[in-house]
Structure 1
Amino acid sequence: MVKIYSLFIALLMSIGLAHEIPVCYDDSIYPVTSLKAQKINSIGEFNGLVILVEFSDTHFTIPVPKESFSSLLNAEGYNYQGAKGSVRDYFITNSDSLFFPHFNVIGPIRLPKPMAYYGQNGDNQEEIHAAEMVIEACLQASTEIDFSKYDSNNDMLVDMVYIFFASYCENENPNKREYIWAHAGNIIDSCLTISNKTIGRYACSSEYIGKDHDPDPLMATIGTFCHEFSHVLGLPDFYNTSSGSGLTLGSMSIMDRGNYLDKGRCPAGYSAFEKEYAQWMNIPVLEPIDTIVSIKLNPVSSYSSATPILCAFKIVIPDTKEYFYFENRQAEGWDRYLPGTGLLIYHVDMSDEEAWDMNMVNTKSSHPYYQLIRSGFYSMIDYRYIPFPGQDNKTMFLPPLIWDGRTAGFELQDIKEEENCIELNLLWKK
């Protein structure tokens, strides 16, 4: 997992470190301005900016890097190194063909200093010169491109600059302190304005993934990019961005560790909630009735607005901002490497707008705002116990509690999984 920087460190950076170029870090986009404020339109065409950066002493070694990364980002059916598609493929599929991103690749641009300078760590292990890397890269790129084309929502901010830097990252080679730690951040306080657009949100990762002594070097894959770009669509992280600890969604979500599935070649697909959040899926709300409701759920990966099949539903708790989401996730499509399959149940609390907007959804272990309910015993290394029926063959889901201590007023019975479909009975409790 990439480094997690505390708010305190971010504050220090913002008041004068890194050669007076303030920058805030996290392993996600740090919310100097809110996720909601920076969110782009998730429907239609989108142009993104990607810059390839090398250093005075370290250059790209993959063949034709510009073409190689353009293919990784944009090529239909991209299959290099066993990939299951490009970044563009991933978002077209998960959006039900509502969102068509294209990423323009610039470079490689060679910066004037050695890699070890930009990778230098401060006393708290923060990348103290990373902001300079971003600023220098953007200034050089400005001679080739018009930055005004990369502000899709006309908020005067460039939507995001993504940098692939030469060589490997420190994340996966912790003994190589000269390497840069793959991360994301925001340099909006640096007031770097090009073509009347301010550069703020950025993310960066390396040319290669894995160890630098691996006999078969693996070029960057799409997983990390898909995770970081999902922030541009407004999605927060679902791991604990404060400490990185706790039982969160792990590999079941692209916004937790699901971007690493199959070494990032086939990251987890969007969940039903994530698709709804991005305005790509309409999830029906089931209202209380006096009879048992029999429900059949098809896999979320098969969802299409053009086909009248049910893949997910939700229950709204009256007089609260709490919801329960139910979806069928199966090992197919972008979900083919999910570590557990079946009925997934989420308890979602939208009452704290700041937690959602400022990327702190699951920082409180005593009150997570996006919680995956487990069917049985669960550790971070055994996901078979998360779904229903799951490893324990849990065929019932008894009335859950909401945050004020009341029961939610429903239960599920006769949960079963057959031929990739989930069947269950929903019973309302008075």
Structure 2
Amino acid sequence: MSCASLAWAQSAESEENIVMEKIIYSEDMLPARTPSGMSKIRSGNDAEVYSSGERYFPVMLVSTTDYKALDSAFMYRMFNEKGFKDNNNYGSVHDYFVESSGGQFQPTFDIYPIALPKNFSSYKSDSEFILPAIDILVERSDFKARASKYEKEIPFVILHPLSRDKATSYCSDFFNHQYKLQYSAKQVYSKNGYKFNNYAFISQKAEGKESSTSSKDVNMLGTFVHEFSHVIGLQDTYSNDSRGYATIGPLPYDVMALGLRNGNGGYPPTFSAFEREAVGWLKPTEIVNADSVYELKNLSGMQAYAVSNPNKSDEYFLIEYRPAVGFDSKIGSSSYSGKQGKNGVMIWYIDYDYSAFFSNDPNGDENHQRVEVRTVLSKDQESFAKFDFVNKNGKAKIDGIFNLVFDGDDRVCFTVNKSKKLDKCPEKAIASSSSVPQSSSSSNSKTSSSSIASSSSVSSSSGTTSLVRTILPQTKIHVSRGMLNVDVPMSGKKTLRFYDALGNNLGAHTFEGSSAIIDVSGWNRSAFVQLDVNGSLLLAKRVVFR
């Protein structure tokens, strides 16, 4: 595909160049290009297989004869280092996906410096730039040593050595985008027995810094996250109105919209509950009981509620709680000059249509947004009662959510009955389903966090447990450096059971001695720990893991 053939394609998203009035887009929505396609969310999840577990992805850090690449050691840190803080970023690309997935997806990005033998202007399309870079990559000994860790058909990232604007001045094909070689190069590219297809094509540098090699002049973290999110199956949720202004979509709330610019691009908001559902990380729980008090954990706890159209299950609302912490702490501070967001309980409206998402334009109709934040509740006692559907005369089974109560950053509570009073979160509430990690139990005195996770959540009818709080000075439970230390100076069989704030059983650990040490470094925030000795409840307490 030549540069000239893409001249018609300049219309879409703002990632790197946003001015006060009109938007100059750095990623363009291309009607002729077939994106990877979002999962069929309600009718059977078909997320890409490489969006879970420990996965490895090659990243080609390309230089040309006239433009140098950024330092490969710095780029490795920006993509992989836990707690990466340089250039006012909250974390690395790796951190972002671990946080968004609740630890279910742990990507490693292998950085490979690639020196192309021509000037940048010599390359007339993205595939013409990519294929010789792959030819060099597959000859590298370090790539060959790592290749067994990659997928059979390798998804990859390629970083060119310019800014987006400078690159597109050479060729309109060089905007930031995700695509597949089967379309751009007319083939799934094979070289030395390796196959390459799905890729993200991204600029290394910020605007006006084309000749710089300083790490301070690197592109936004949000841009790298956004484009790689396309690789694992997400679509854009931004759009523009009839005048060409980027005023459509969940702008500051979504990394697939203009949220990638939050905190000057260093604090892209984590995946929404909708997107976590799309890639198979979270299953929201339908609200059905109008007489109950509902408890909703921080979204980092992988929990959300749904209110669905009974006549069309792909139209629904999602309720999620996002306090101003971590990557989500700059939702109210976007470098986009238009709409600013706020933190709290977000009410998303979703009208999923496979064709609209597959064409990468779910919010193209400004009169009917398919992914939208309808409101954000940020104060106690606020409510929302507009669960209105547009398809097939749908009618919600509940009137709304009322009597909202915030309990710090960990949880909120609410009712779906306006007349039911609520002034604080109770000990017990209706439990929501969350992510489903792998499970096992261990009789060893030390086990990993994955080995104490239950294979499924316990339903609200049987999962809520009354935790008796007993003061036993001789029994100690405390956390130090990611390890849960338990001292029980008593004989007999001891069993530790772990529950989330809703009473869902997270798993168990059994030991015979007087002490146990359990690795909880990968756990989110806190849990209730119940200790049984010889089958009798001895102690239950809330333990903060971080």
TM norm structure 2: 0.60
User: Aligned equivalents of 1:113 and 1:182: distance in 2?
Assistant: 21
Which residue is 1:52 aligned to? 61
Which residue is 1:203 aligned to? 200
Which residue is 2:414 aligned to? 424
Which residue is 2:306 aligned to? 314
Which residue is 2:447 aligned to? none
Which residue is 1:297 aligned to? 296
What secondary structure sits across from 2:165 in the alignment? coil
User: Aligned equivalents of 2:273 and 2:48: distance in 1?
Assistant: 19
Structure 2: where are the runs of 5+ without partners? 11-26, 40-45, 333-341, 420-546
User: Aligned equivalents of 1:223 and 1:268: distance in 2?
Assistant: 9
Which residue is 1:255 aligned to? 256
Using the TM superposition, give the Cα deviation of residue 182 of structure 1 relative to its aligned residue in structure 2, in angstroms: 2.8
Which residue is 1:19 aligned to? none
Identity of aligned residues (%): 21
Q: Please, which of 127, 131, 140 is the counterpart of residue 131 of structure 1?
A: 127
Which residue is 2:116 aligned to? 111
2:167 aligned with 1:168, yes or no?
no
User: Aligned equivalents of 2:95 and 2:388: distance in 1?
Assistant: 38
Which residue is 1:193 aligned to? 190
User: Aligned equivalents of 2:7 and 2:385: distance in 1?
Assistant: 39
Using the TM superposition, give the Cα deviation of residue 338 of structure 1 relative to its aligned residue in structure 2, in angstroms: 0.9
User: Aligned equivalents of 1:318 and 1:106: distance in 2?
Assistant: 50
Query: Aligned pair in 2 of structure 1 residues 41, 184: CA closer, same or farther (>3 Å)?
Result: closer
Q: Is the 8 A contact 1:188 1:199 kept in 2?
A: no
Which residue is 1:13 aligned to? none
User: Aligned equivalents of 2:245 and 2:355: distance in 1?
Assistant: 19
Q: Please, which of 75, 81, 95 is the counterpart of residue 69 of structure 1?
A: 75
1:141-194 deviation per Cα after TM superposition (whole angstroms, max 9, x unaligned) = 121134964753x4xx322x21122243317x98x6589533333321422322
User: Aligned equivalents of 1:227 and 1:255: distance in 2?
Assistant: 6
Query: Aligned pair in 2 of structure 1 residues 400, 416: CA closer, same or farther (>3 Å)?
Result: farther
User: Aligned equivalents of 1:232 and 1:165: distance in 2?
Assistant: 17
Query: Aligned pair in 2 of structure 1 residues 143, 27: CA closer, same or farther (>3 Å)?
Result: farther
Which residue is 1:99 aligned to? 105
User: Aligned equivalents of 2:219 and 2:30: distance in 1?
Assistant: 18
User: Aligned equivalents of 1:93 and 1:240: distance in 2?
Assistant: 26
Query: Aligned pair in 2 of structure 1 residues 369, 188: CA closer, same or farther (>3 Å)?
Result: same
Q: Please, which of 378, 383, 389 is the counterpart of residue 401 of structure 1?
A: 389
Query: Aligned pair in 2 of structure 1 residues 32, 224: CA closer, same or farther (>3 Å)?
Result: closer
Query: Aligned pair in 2 of structure 1 residues 183, 234: CA closer, same or farther (>3 Å)?
Result: closer
Which runs of structure 2 are paired with 1:219-368 in the superposition (5 Å)?
219-240=218-239, 245-287=246-288, 289=289, 291-301=290-300, 303=301, 311-321=303-313, 322-339=315-332, 340-350=342-352, 352-368=353-369
1:253-299 deviation per Cα after TM superposition (whole angstroms, max 9, x unaligned) = 11111222223222111222222222222322221x4x433334332
What secondary structure sits across from 1:45 in the alignment? strand
Higher relative contact order (CA 8 A, sep 6+): 1
Instruction: Give 1 or 2 for the bigger CA radius of gyration.
Output: 2
User: Aligned equivalents of 2:207 and 2:408: distance in 1?
Assistant: 36
Paired letter, 1:53: V
Paired letter, 1:54: S
1:226-252 deviation per Cα after TM superposition (whole angstroms, max 9, x unaligned) = 112222222222123997855201120
Which residue is 1:41 aligned to? 50
Paired letter, 1:277: A
Paired letter, 1:103: F
Which residue is 1:377 aligned to? none
User: Aligned equivalents of 1:355 and 1:195: distance in 2?
Assistant: 38
What secondary structure sits across from 1:170 in the alignment? helix
Q: Is the 8 A contact 1:227 1:259 kept in 2?
A: yes
Q: Is the 8 A contact 1:293 1:426 kept in 2?
A: yes
What secondary structure sits across from 1:208 in the alignment? coil
Query: Aligned pair in 2 of structure 1 residues 255, 42: CA closer, same or farther (>3 Å)?
Result: same
Q: Is the 8 A contact 1:54 1:110 kept in 2?
A: yes
Q: Is the 8 A contact 1:313 1:326 kept in 2?
A: yes
Using the TM superposition, give the Cα deviation of residue 416 of structure 1 relative to its aligned residue in structure 2, in angstroms: 5.2
Q: Is the 8 A contact 2:343 2:378 kept in 1?
A: no
Q: Please, which of 76, 87, 92 is the counterpart of residue 86 of structure 1?
A: 92
Number of residues of Structure 1 aligned to a counterpart in Structure 2: 369
Query: Aligned pair in 2 of structure 1 residues 209, 8: CA closer, same or farther (>3 Å)?
Result: closer
Using the TM superposition, give the Cα deviation of residue 414 of structure 1 relative to its aligned residue in structure 2, in angstroms: 3.1
Using the TM superposition, give the Cα deviation of residue 68 of structure 1 relative to its aligned residue in structure 2, in angstroms: 1.3
Paired letter, 2:130: V
Q: Is the 8 A contact 1:285 1:313 kept in 2?
A: yes
User: Aligned equivalents of 2:379 and 2:391: distance in 1?
Assistant: 26
User: Aligned equivalents of 1:150 and 1:255: distance in 2?
Assistant: 28
User: Aligned equivalents of 1:166 and 1:293: distance in 2?
Assistant: 56
Using the TM superposition, give the Cα deviation of residue 326 of structure 1 relative to its aligned residue in structure 2, in angstroms: 0.6
Which residue is 1:121 aligned to? none
Using the TM superposition, give the Cα deviation of residue 335 of structure 1 relative to its aligned residue in structure 2, in angstroms: 0.5
Using the TM superposition, give the Cα deviation of residue 106 of structure 1 relative to its aligned residue in structure 2, in angstroms: 0.9
Structure 1: where are the runs of 5+ without partners? 11-24, 119-127, 305-310, 375-386
Using the TM superposition, give the Cα deviation of residue 69 of structure 1 relative to its aligned residue in structure 2, in angstroms: 1.1
User: Aligned equivalents of 1:94 and 1:428: distance in 2?
Assistant: 33
What secondary structure sits across from 2:261 in the alignment? helix
Query: Aligned pair in 2 of structure 1 residues 366, 250: CA closer, same or farther (>3 Å)?
Result: same
Query: Aligned pair in 2 of structure 1 residues 404, 244: CA closer, same or farther (>3 Å)?
Result: farther
Which residue is 2:509 aligned to? none
User: Aligned equivalents of 2:149 and 2:245: distance in 1?
Assistant: 32
Paired letter, 1:408: A
What secondary structure sits across from 1:328 in the alignment? strand
What secondary structure sits across from 1:88 in the alignment? helix
Paired letter, 1:348: I
Query: Aligned pair in 2 of structure 1 residues 28, 260: CA closer, same or farther (>3 Å)?
Result: farther
1:68-89 deviation per Cα after TM superposition (whole angstroms, max 9, x unaligned) = 1111111122222222211112
